């Protein structure tokens, strides 16, 4: 028994050695801040993709890095600012942020701590970086191209739902006047001969239920949302309400379909979070954020669930099925 324990301990030491050695070589135990406007539970699947990639690169929590997670729990801009200020007070070495609003909050809080965006919608238009190729300043990372892809999602809805005339667009309350995504969707709707019914909502059970009741009252033929983390975090509830009200819906990430949603079209966000971990690795090893170009999403997915279609009594056109990357039966 003693021999077995000794052998096991020795193997554990061998596995741990490369990571410990790297930490000693770099001469520092790094502290990373992770800032998000939504919930820890809702973001768990993407956070895990980020952490796994860090592990592959040799960064292990409790060994050579620590990650301070801060989630605003959908409590608005003031709470997000408080959490960003908290991370700055902790003197973290780097801040990982999720969307454009979160990135903007972090940038307004610090001009010196490196900031890595996982999936900002349009960082140039939002004033986060000077350009994609030469971001300048302390912000870099990745864009999910949400602004452009919203138009494509609207086109897919038009092709999916026969004689579609009205689309219910769910908006995070308080973002109507500042949303770059909304401007793009508003411009695309008349071209597609669609009327948008813009419905602002709080991202909680009461708010979302009320939003869907409003959508039904306005006689919309389908539903979509802007691509923000708050809606992603509450995807299970959104999908459930769309099913309950028998409304065809398109979402911006495949995880909605994994929860029972009808279809999704958008960037592969798990890939973006893994690539963000690679940027964290580069910066912790000495690369300046200003020298890392903001990169666009490289992988896109169009997913359809026939099971979800059956639940709402909807038939997906064959032509659309032929275009999908994956059809879930």
Q: Quick one: CA dihedral 42, 46, 49, 55, positive or negative?
A: negative
Quick: pLDDT tens for 115-142.
999 999 889 988 999 999 999 999 999 9
* Coil vs helix vs strand at 195: strand
User: Looking at residue 325, what is its pLDDT?
Assistant: 95
User: What average pLDDT does range 82-103 have in this prediction?
Assistant: 96
Tell me the two tokens of residue 233: 């975090």
pLDDT of residue 14: 37
pLDDT at 24 over 50: no
**Average pLDDT in the 99-103 region?**
91
Contact 172, 230 (CB under 8 A): yes
Higher pLDDT, residue 6 or 223: 223
**Interaxial angle between packed helices 180-191 and 146-160, expressed in degrees from 0 to 180 and rounded to the nearest 10:** 30
According to the model, what pLDDT value does residue 246 have? 97
Distant-in-sequence, close-in-space partners of 96: CB < 8 Å, separation ≥ 6? 32, 33, 34, 35, 50, 115, 116, 118, 276, 280
pLDDT band with cut points at 50, 70 and 90 for residue 175 = confident
pLDDT band of 147, cuts 50, 70, 90: confident
Helix/strand/coil for 244: helix
Which is it for strands 30-36 and 94-97: parallel, antiparallel or unpaired? parallel
Q: Is the pLDDT of residue 23 over 80?
A: no
Whether the domain at 24-144+268-299 and the domain at 146-267+301-328 fall into the same CATH topology: yes
Render pLDDT for 29-85 as a digit per residue (tens, 0 to 9).
Answer: 999 999 999 999 999 999 999 999 999 999 999 999 999 999 999 998 999 999 999
* Domains in the chain: boundaries: 24-144+268-299, 146-267+301-328
How many other C-beta atoms can be found within 10 angstroms of the C-beta atom of residue 36?
27
**Average pLDDT taken over every residue of the chain:** 90
- Determine the Cα–Cα distance for residues 182 and 233; give it in Å rounded to an integer: 20
Residue 5: pLDDT over 90:
no
Q: Is the pLDDT of residue 189 over 60?
A: yes
Q: Domain 146-267+301-328 is in which class?
A: alpha beta
Q: What is residue 178's predicted lDDT score, i.e. its pLDDT? A: 55
pLDDT tens digits, 279-308: 999 999 999 999 999 999 999 999 999 999
- Predicted pLDDT at 22: 43
249-260 pLDDT, tens digit each: 999 999 999 999
Checking if the pLDDT of 95 tops 80, the result is yes
pTM given for the model: 0.85
pLDDT at 10 over 90: no
Query: 156-185 burial, b for 16+ CB within 10 Å, e for fewer?
Result: bbbebbeebeebbbbbbeebeeebebbebb
Burial class (CB in 10 A: 0-12, 13-18, 19+), 148: middle
Other residues' Cβ atoms within 10 Å of the Cβ of residue 14: 9
- Determine whether domain 24-144+268-299 maps to CATH 3.40.50.2300: yes
pLDDT at 281 (0 to 100): 98
Gap between the Cα atoms of 261 and 252, Å rounded: 11
């Amino acid at each position: 028994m003693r021999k077995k324990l000794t052998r096991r301990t020795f193997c554990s030491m061998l596995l741990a050695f490369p990571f410990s050695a790297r930490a000693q070589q770099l001469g520092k135990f790094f502290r990373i801040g992770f800032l998000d406007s939504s919930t820890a539970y809702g973001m768990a699947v993407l956070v895990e993709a980020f952490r796994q990639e860090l592990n592959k690169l040799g960064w292990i929590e409790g060994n050579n890095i620590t990650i301070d997670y801060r989630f605003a729990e959908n409590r608005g801009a003031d709470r997000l600012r408080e959490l960003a200020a908290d991370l700055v007070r902790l003197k973290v070495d780097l801040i990982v942020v999720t969307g454009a609003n979160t990135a903007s909050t972090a940038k307004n809080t610090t001009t010196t701590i490196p900031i890595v965006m996982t999936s900002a919608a349009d960082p140039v238009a939002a004033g986060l970086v000077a350009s994609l190729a030469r971001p300048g300043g302390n912000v870099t990372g990745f864009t999910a191209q949400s602004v452009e892809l919203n138009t494509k999602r609207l086109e897919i809805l038009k092709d999916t739902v026969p004689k579609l005339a009205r689309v219910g667009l769910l908006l995070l309350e308080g973002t109507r006047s500042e949303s770059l995504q909304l401007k793009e969707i508003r411009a695309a709707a008349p071209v597609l001969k669609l009327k948008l019914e813009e419905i602002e909502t709080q991202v909680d059970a009461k708010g979302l239920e009320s939003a869907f009741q409003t959508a039904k009252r306005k006689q919309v033929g389908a539903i979509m949302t802007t691509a923000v983390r708050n809606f992603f975090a509450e995807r299970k509830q959104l999908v459930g309400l769309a099913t309950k009200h028998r409304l065809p819906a398109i979402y911006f990430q495949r995880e909605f379909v994994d929860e029972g949603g009808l279809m999704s079209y958008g960037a592969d966000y798990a890939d973006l979070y893994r690539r963000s971990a690679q940027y964290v690795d580069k910066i912790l090893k000495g690369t300046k954020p200003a020298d890392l170009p903001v990169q666009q999403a490289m992988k896109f997915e169009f997913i359809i669930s026939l099971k979800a279609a059956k639940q709402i009594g909807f038939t997906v056109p064959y032509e659309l099925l032929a275009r999908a990357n994956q059809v879930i039966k």
